[in-house]
């Protein structure tokens, strides 16, 4: 989309700058500068984030964009009726998650999403290797047959599996021990509500939601309680499944991605 096309689409949708900022994760000041023309050459990542919001389809469940019913691969079925057979029939380039028979599109993540997920994976992997542990760290895309049925297949951003019997060449069969989802505008409600309950009920021991736009980490330790603990990006967050001092220093991660928050 060109900037003029974005302005036209923004007007058609009736979005305010505040709404676009909330949905895209782009700072409000940057959104205002882009659409006012004050910034002549916005960053590529900024334009990509704005375009993702303005291109969103109307058939949504919360903030998660569903696969359109008109898609020929699913003729004769409705959301809630899809199975792993339909999942495996998808073209390879179409990334989705299947949750309780409902398909959810997975848009390409922004660079901040990838960088944060990669850093967390790196920290977990290094810790496990130093301890010569049995647990295995994974990073998306990797299929997880969460409920061991034919109605759910998810792809967590980062996760750890400590029971190697769950690991097959094709999928992880059963619940991981530890899961991290890096939130974005298009997945926030799915990750914060739908997947939260799915992970808890499936037997995930610990679930983190990392919100780059608010610079917070929400931690659910299902082994001990269901209360959420909230950390800022200045904290060292302990990994509860490891009781020997594994921590993720988010001040380091924040510094690592800080250049992406600079207003253009």
Instruction: Indicate whether 88 pLDDT > 70.
Output: yes
**Could you tell me what percent of the chain has a pLDDT over 70?**
91
Q: Which tens digits make up the pLDDT trace of 212-244? A: 999 999 999 998 887 899 999 999 999 999 987
Q: Please give the torsion angle defined by the CA atoms of residues 177, 85, 97 and 168, in that order, rounded to the nearest 10 degrees.
A: 30
For residue 56, what pLDDT is reported?
Answer: 55
For residue 224, what pLDDT is reported?
Answer: 86
**Domain spans, the chain:** 3-54, 60-105, 111-261
Beta bridge partners of 60: 65
For residue 98, what pLDDT is reported?
Answer: 96
Instruction: Indicate whether 167 pLDDT > 80.
Output: yes
Instruction: Indicate whether 68 pLDDT > 70.
Output: no
Preceding peptide of 141 cis, ω within 30°: yes
* Averaged confidence pLDDT in the chain: 86
- Distances in Å between the alpha carbon of 72 and those of 170, 229, 259? 26, 44, 42
* Architecture in CATH for domain 111-261: Alpha-Beta Complex (3.90)
For residue 66, what pLDDT is reported?
Answer: 46
* Architecture in CATH for domain 3-54: Orthogonal Bundle (1.10)
């Amino acid at each position: 989309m060109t900037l003029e096309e974005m302005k036209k689409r923004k007007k058609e949708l009736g979005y305010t700058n505040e709404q676009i900022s909330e949905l895209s994760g782009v700072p409000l000041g940057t959104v205002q500068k882009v659409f006012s023309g004050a910034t002549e050459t916005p960053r590529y990542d900024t334009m990509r984030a704005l375009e993702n919001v303005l291109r969103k389809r109307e058939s949504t469940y919360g903030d998660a964009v569903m696969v359109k019913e008109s898609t020929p691969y699913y003729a004769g079925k409705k959301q809630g009726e899809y199975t792993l057979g339909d999942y495996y029939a998808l073209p390879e380039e179409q990334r989705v998650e299947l949750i309780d028979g409902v398909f959810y599109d997975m848009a390409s993540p922004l660079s901040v999403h990838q960088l944060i997920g990669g850093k967390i994976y790196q920290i977990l992997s290094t810790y496990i290797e130093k301890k010569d542990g049995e647990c295995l760290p994974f990073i998306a895309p990797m299929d997880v047959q969460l409920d061991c049925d034919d109605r759910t297949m998810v792809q967590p951003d980062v996760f750890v599996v400590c029971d190697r019997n769950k690991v097959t060449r094709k999928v992880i069969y059963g619940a991981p021990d530890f899961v991290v989802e890096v939130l974005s505008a298009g997945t926030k409600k799915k990750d914060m509500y739908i997947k939260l309950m799915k992970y808890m009920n499936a037997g995930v021991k610990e679930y983190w939601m990392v919100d780059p736009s608010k610079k917070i980490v929400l931690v659910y330790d299902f082994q001990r309680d269901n209360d959420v603990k909230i950390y800022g990006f200045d904290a060292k967050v302990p990994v509860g499944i490891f009781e020997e001092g594994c921590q993720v220093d988010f001040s380091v991660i924040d510094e690592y991605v800080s250049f992406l928050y600079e207003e253009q």
